[in-house]
Structure 1
């Protein structure tokens, strides 16, 4: 685990935290039951197996 060597000021801590941004989920085009839909890659297997409803995407 990383150990801090010097005390970091409150301003620097908050500035570092504010720079973090989440990425948008990459969508993949998949044909399911004759329809082409764009869904997240992690749900492709479940959608093809019928475990996830595709209408919500």
Structure 2
């Protein structure tokens, strides 16, 4: 059974654990059709295009 040889201070323990709680900004790319920001590898919610192909039929009224 593993037994710690020395006490790990609260500061050292918390420094090790702090990397888990960091938040990253979501990755964003621009749509090749309309230029709006969108998530990569997803259909554009603004125009309905994905990789230059119309995937969703978007109403002009919206």
TM-score, normalisation: structure 1: 0.41
TM-score, normalisation: structure 2: 0.40
Q: Comparing both structures, which one devotes a greater share of its residues to helix?
A: 1
Structure possessing the higher radius of gyration over alpha carbons: 2
Structure number with the bigger relative contact order (C-alpha 8 A, sep ≥ 6) is: 1
Q: Comparing both structures, which one devotes a greater share of its residues to strand?
A: 1
